[in-house]
């Protein structure tokens, strides 16, 4: 009896630690340790698990002059640019359409726009691989009928068309997903603000500018940062659509693809780690700049 | 009058967007249901007489598709259960207890969310290799078994549990784990639904890590099996599309079951946070 009482007090005192223990344990072994190790590895050239040569900052200085890496960074940046400046405005536009008060079948449209997100990236890639086919592919046949574009347009075989193909595919995948966030934010806007603006004689555009935008700003910043981070990590789509080589003249090579190539095909985990840390630094800097520019800094989230 | 015109324009715009969004999916369904040789003969569905389940037949006889399907179900099922347990347990601790070290833990969690996982890909591979978990489902599931995002989700929803309720349970002799199991979990049922779907989609669609860990094709999950099929069956698009269709189906079914919880769970952190 006394033993069980002692146990009761013991478990009461230590409960939060026990509950959080799985996270701490897994995090230390499979998070913190690999993270520190990868920083350490980034100072080495490795070849397989045995051979290691210390090169100091050599990997990083090599990155600075590595044309393939530059290409990968450029491609990733272009992709991220279109994700933020093409895809997100469209998402917001769709959300605004769906937010109209008297709209019927709102849930139906929301579901339809969201549905591509249910298809995993790998499966999207397999579907679009066939849709992008020259001659017979759905896209070329549609564009041929509408705009007279030649049927043998090789979306995945022409270095100038690879990036548009990637942007188009991810547009299809994510435009509805991000719309969900904007729509939720729009529905949470205080309606009294609109009434007040109308009393002040604000037209629809002024209402959008002075009521809607400021109200949805926290969510908008969240979505911008999230899709930038996501774009920086683009891998599956080009890897499956273009093969592990990165497409014609590396037109579809992304940073994570280049990391994968170096680490798991060439076998230089050191150089791969250096690429990884450069990516992490890039993600950090860009999201901090975005939060600073949009003034979300002080909110802290 | 112009109001009516605007309304019509609104619906036309929405209908057009819907058509664009649905076209690839409708095309996918039509591609599965054509005879293998007909894939490009018809843009979408063939006349009813030419419909065929041949692609599905080939998928299950030529390729061990059942095995990949079972593998994926097993891996995702186990991963979701484990992630759900750890995330809700950790979320409960962060929501309903004050303890020294809570702040650092939460800062640590936020920091990990900022670092792209690919940074540690190399060392993680080495680690899994050295502890002998290569080419095993343990190696696939264990590194990702605690979802930081999930812990935040559950913390958010469990913050609303009244402290009085927990205190009353304690006076009645309920253990702390009992409070988690009998009070906190049932109250968070909507969040459980949302998290199940989020984590199911994450593991079901996961590609990069399984591609690194799994070598024996007997253990392949659907995404890597399909990637391999792209190489091996590059001419048999019909079979490939049938496989893709069946790979998507479980997620779609689960989504329809958990739809409401999912959307609210997705946006909860963003709108209220």
Q: What is the pLDDT of residue A300?
A: 44
Give residue-wise pLDDT tens across range A237-257.
Answer: 999 999 888 889 999 999 999
Chain A stretch 145-164, residues whose beta carbon is closer than 8 A to a beta carbon of chain B: none
Q: Is B227 near chain A, with CB under 8 Å? A: yes
pTM of the model: 0.91
| Residues A235, B119: C-beta atoms closer than 8 Å | no
Cα separation of B232 and A208, whole Å? 53
Residues A101-120, mean pLDDT to the nearest whole number: 91
Close Cβ partners of A206 (under 8 Å, ≥ 6 residues apart): A197
| Residues A113, B227: C-beta atoms closer than 8 Å | no
Q: What is the pLDDT of residue B38?
A: 82
Chain B stretch 158-177, residues whose beta carbon is closer than 8 A to a beta carbon of chain A: 170, 173, 175-177
Cα separation of A181 and B233, whole Å? 39
Cα separation of A255 and A71, whole Å? 9
Please state the φ and ψ torsions of residue A157, each to the nearest 5 degrees: -115, 5
Cα separation of B260 and A63, whole Å? 47
Q: What is the pLDDT of residue A49?
A: 67
In angstroms, the separation between the Cα of residue A160 and the nearest Cα of chain B is 23
Q: Is A288 near chain B, with CB under 8 Å? A: no
Task: CATH number for B75-272: choose from 3.90.1150.10, 1.10.3720.10, 3.40.50.300, 3.20.20.70.
Answer: 1.10.3720.10
Residue A77 CB neighbours (<10 A):
16
Q: How confident is the model at residue A2 (pLDDT cuts 50, 70, 90)?
A: low
Close Cβ partners of B118 (under 8 Å, ≥ 6 residues apart): A233, A235, A256, A259, A276, A279, B208
Q: In the predicted model, is pLDDT for residue A136 greater than 90? A: no
pLDDT by position in tens, chain B (length 273) = 588 898 899 999 999 999 999 999 999 999 999 988 888 888 888 888 888 999 999 999 988 899 999 999 999 999 999 999 999 999 999 999 999 989 998 998 888 888 888 999 989 999 999 999 999 999 999 999 999 999 999 998 899 999 999 999 999 989 999 999 999 999 898 899 999 999 999 999 999 999 999 999 999 999 999 999 988 876 788 999 999 999 999 999 999 999 888 877 777 655 543
Which 8-state DSSP code applies to residue B184?
I
Residues A50-72, mean pLDDT to the nearest whole number: 92
Q: What is the pLDDT of residue A293?
A: 83
Chain B stretch 21-40, residues whose beta carbon is closer than 8 A to a beta carbon of chain A: 21-25, 27-28, 31, 39-40
Residues A59-69, mean pLDDT to the nearest whole number: 95
Please give the C-alpha separations between residue A122 and each of A56, A74, A186, B62, B77, in angstroms, as whole numbers.
Answer: 37, 23, 32, 22, 19
Of A34, A98, A128, the CB nearest to B124: A34
Q: Where are chain B's structural domains? A: 75-272
Q: In the predicted model, is pLDDT for residue A113 greater than 90? A: yes
Cα separation of A72 and A247, whole Å? 12
Q: What percent of chain B has pLDDT over 70?
A: 96
Nearest CA in chain B to A116: B21
In angstroms, the separation between the Cα of residue A2 and the nearest Cα of chain B is 14
| ipTM score of complex | 0.91
DSSP element (H, E) containing A184: helix A159-187
Of B93, B247, B271, the CB nearest to A123: B247
Q: What is the pLDDT of residue A301?
A: 43
Q: Which residues of A226-254 are buried (b: 16+ CB within 10 A; e: fewer)?
A: ebbbbbbbbbbbbbbbbeeebbbebbbbb
Question: Which single residue is written with the structure tokens 């979408």?
Answer: B44
Counting Cα atoms < 13 Å in the Cβ hemisphere of B178 gives 14
DSSP element (H, E) containing B9: helix B2-32
Helix (H, G, I), strand (E, B) or coil at A51: strand
Close Cβ partners of B138 (under 8 Å, ≥ 6 residues apart): none
Give residue-wise pLDDT tens across range A19-35.
Answer: 999 999 999 999 999 99
- Top residue of B118, B130, B232 to mutate, by most chain A CBs within 10 Å, is B118
Mean pLDDT of chain A: 91
Where does chain B show beta strands of DSSP type E?
Answer: none
| Residues B226, A103: C-beta atoms closer than 8 Å | no
Cα dihedral B257, B259, B260, B264 sign: positive
Nearest CA in chain B to A136: B40
Cα separation of A257 and B260, whole Å? 36
Domains of chain A with bracketed CATH: 2-58 (no CATH), 62-293 (1.10.3720.10)
Cα separation of A62 and B86, whole Å? 42
Cα separation of B147 and B90, whole Å? 10
- Top residue of B15, B65, B116 to mutate, by most chain A CBs within 10 Å, is B116
Q: Is B118 near chain A, with CB under 8 Å? A: yes
Chain B stretch 122-151, residues whose beta carbon is closer than 8 A to a beta carbon of chain A: 122-127, 129, 142-146, 148, 151
Cα separation of B231 and B223, whole Å? 13
Residue from A224, A227, A223, A221 nearest A298 by CA: A221
């Amino acid at each position: 009896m006394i033993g069980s009482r002692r146990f009761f007090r013991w478990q009461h005192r230590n409960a939060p630690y026990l509950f959080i223990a799985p996270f701490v344990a897994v995090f230390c072994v499979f998070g913190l340790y690999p993270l520190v190790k990868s920083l350490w590895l980034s100072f080495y050239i490795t070849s397989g698990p045995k051979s290691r040569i210390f090169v100091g900052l050599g990997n990083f200085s090599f990155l600075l002059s590595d044309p393939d890496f530059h290409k990968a960074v450029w491609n990733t940046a272009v992709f991220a640019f279109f994700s933020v400046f093409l895809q997100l405005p469209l998402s917001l536009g769709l959300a605004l359409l769906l937010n109209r008060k008297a709209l019927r079948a709102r849930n139906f449209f929301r579901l339809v726009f969201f549905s591509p997100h249910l298809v995993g990236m790998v499966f999207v890639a397999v579907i679009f691989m066939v849709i992008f086919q020259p001659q017979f592919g759905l896209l070329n046949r549609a564009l041929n009928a509408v705009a007279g574009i030649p049927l043998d347009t090789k979306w995945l075989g022409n270095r100038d068309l690879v990036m548009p193909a990637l942007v188009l595919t991810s547009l299809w995948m994510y435009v509805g997903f991000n719309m969900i966030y904007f729509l939720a934010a729009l529905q949470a806007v205080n309606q009294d603000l609109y009434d007040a603006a109308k009393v002040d004689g604000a037209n629809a555009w002024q209402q959008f500018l002075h009521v809607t935008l400021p109200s949805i700003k926290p969510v908008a910043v969240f979505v911008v940062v999230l899709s930038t981070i996501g774009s920086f990590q683009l891998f599956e789509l080009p890897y499956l659509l273009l093969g592990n080589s990165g497409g014609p003249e590396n037109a579809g090579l992304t940073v994570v693809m280049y990391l994968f190539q170096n680490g798991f095909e060439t076998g230089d985990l050191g150089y791969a780690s250096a690429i990884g840390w450069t990516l992490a630094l890039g993600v950090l800097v860009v999201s901090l700049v975005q939060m600073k520019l949009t003034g979300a800094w002080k909110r802290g989230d | 009058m112009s109001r009516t015109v605007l309304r019509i324009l609104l619906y036309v715009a929405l209908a057009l967007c819907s058509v664009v969004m649905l076209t690839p999916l409708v095309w996918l369904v039509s591609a599965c249901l054509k005879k293998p040789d007909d894939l490009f003969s018809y843009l979408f569905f063939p006349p009813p007489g030419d419909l065929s389940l041949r692609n599905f037949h080939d998928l299950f006889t030529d390729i061990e598709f059942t095995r990949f399907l079972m593998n994926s179900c097993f891996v995702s099922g186990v991963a979701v259960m484990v992630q759900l347990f750890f995330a809700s347990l950790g979320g409960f601790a962060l929501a309903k207890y004050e303890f020294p070290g809570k702040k650092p833990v939460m800062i640590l969690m936020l920091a990990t969310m900022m670092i792209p996982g690919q940074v540690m890909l190399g060392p993680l591979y080495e680690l899994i290799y050295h502890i002998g978990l290569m080419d095993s489902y343990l190696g696939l599931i264990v590194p990702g078994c605690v979802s930081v995002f999930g812990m935040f989700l559950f913390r958010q929803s469990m913050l609303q549990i009244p402290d009085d309720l927990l205190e009353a349970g304690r006076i009645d002799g309920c253990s702390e784990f009992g409070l988690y199991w009998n009070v906190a979990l049932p109250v968070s049922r909507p969040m459980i639904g949302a998290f199940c779907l989020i984590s199911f989609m994450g593991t079901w669609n996961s590609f990069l890590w399984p591609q690194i860990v799994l070598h024996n094709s007997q253990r392949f999950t659907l995404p890597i099996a399909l990637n391999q099929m792209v190489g091996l069956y590059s001419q048999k698009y019909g079979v490939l599309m049938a496989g893709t269709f069946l790979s998507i189906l479980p997620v779609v079914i689960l989504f329809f079951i958990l739809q409401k919880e999912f959307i609210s769970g997705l946006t909860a952190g963003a709108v209220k946070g």
